[in-house]
Every structure is written in structure tokens, then in C-alpha cells.
Amino acid sequence: MCAAPTDDRDARHVSLASFGEDATSRLRAAHVLIIGVGGTGCAAAAALAAAGAGTLTLVDFDRVDASNLARQPLYTPADIGRDKVAVAATRLATQHPGISIKPRAERLAGEALQAAVHAADVALDCSDNFASRFALNKACVDTGTALVSGSALRWEGQVAVFGPDYANAPCYRCMYSDHDEALDDCQGAGVLGPIPATIGTLMATEAIKRVTGTGTPARLSLYDGSTGEWRQLGVSKNGDCPVCAAR
């Protein structure tokens, strides 16, 4: 059980008219699953920890590389070669001792992934490949768990929220097919360092809205950092979606 919002760290949330003590307490009790602690994952985890999310489960099998440092601010040159989740968990716990952080240095799949998703109030897709995104989406649909999806590439990024009512609303898979797995990735196409942080921070905001019942979930939001422009698009349920169409 998380403590009631009584300390000064919560003061700005409590004084926010549309948030207040009730939402602050729900945030303190929330469990957020973050798949991938790279560019978007670092920013999302840092924002959620600072905001007072009660429990963060961080999942990533990767280790810190020098090429990560320009866009993954939880890591330093001294961390190169170490497990990302171990470094991230230690750093966040030091900065925000009031929250619980559970690092999992592994690639979750199958029943293990489904169990991790089921245990969370909301899942954040901060992964960097379609196989992981598709697997996480299916686990969210199967367990009725809300999914916040984010990605960044070149100068651009996107954020969208799916579920938990997958019977009447689209899932992530409604937007993409198996052919999309051949699309460019960050390693091949590059990405401007601040773009993943922009997207990850917005993902944290959507997660907070979800677990506290405040605000309105984002539609598909597209950001072009080269022009500073945002676009909002609707996503329709795909009647042929192999994951959610039959629900």
C-alpha cells in the first residue's frame, strides 16, 4: 500500500484542480510496466518516478552502449557494458526513494509477458522493433490492459493510447501488418537525441491520465521536430485485425 500524498513532493499535484488528492493517491498506488528502457523508456521512467508512480517494472535485456548516451540520459559513460535496467533502477531509486522499482533484465515472451502485463495497471511500449510491439499488444488485448505506445525516428515521433476496451476500440495491431516489420529503425535511419525524450515524456503523461482517471486519452499524435508541428489522427478498429477483431 502506497502512502497517502502528504509530503511536499506531491504539493503541485494536490493543488492542481483537475487532479487533487484522490488522483495523487491513485498514482501512488499505480503499477506501470515499461517495456524497453532506451530513449523513450528512459524519459518515461524518469517522468513517472518523479511524478510519484508507486511501482515501476522496467524490462530490457540490452546493455548500455556508447551510442545510447546521446538520447538515454539515465546512463553515463561509466555505465557502458552494464545492464540497462540495473543502472536505471539504481539511478531512479536514488533520486526517488519513495517508489518501488522492479528491474527485469530479460526479453519477456509468452506466459511471462502476459503475467507481467496482467500485474500492471498500464503498459508502456518503449521497444524498438515490431516483434516486441506486436507481442506486447497481444498480451494487453488478452488481459484487458491499457497500452501506451510510443516511437521515435529521425526528427519524428508518435504517441497513441489503446484499450482497455478492445472489443469496441482498436488495438495497436489494427494500424500495422506483418509487412511493416521491414520499416526503418533508429539504428539504420538515425534519430535526433531530444525526440525520444519528447515522446517518452508524453507517454508518461498518458500513463498518469490512465491510472488516475483524469484527462482524455490521446488519439494517434504525430510530432515533426523539424517543423514543430503536431497532428492528431483517429484510429479505427480494423475488422480484419488478427488480434482484436473477434473480441
Catalytic positions are 186
SS3 content of the chain, % helix, strand, coil (to 5): 40, 20, 40
Question: Which contiguous run of DSSP H or E holds residue 41?
Answer: helix 39-51
State the Cα–Cα distance between residues 34 and 57, nearest whole angstrom. 6
Prior bond of 164 cis (ω within 30°): yes
Compute φ and ψ for 37, nearest 5 degrees.
Answer: -120, 50
| Secondary structure class of 186 (helix, strand, coil) | helix
User: 169 vs 35, 58, 99, 236, CA distance in Å?
Assistant: 23, 27, 32, 7
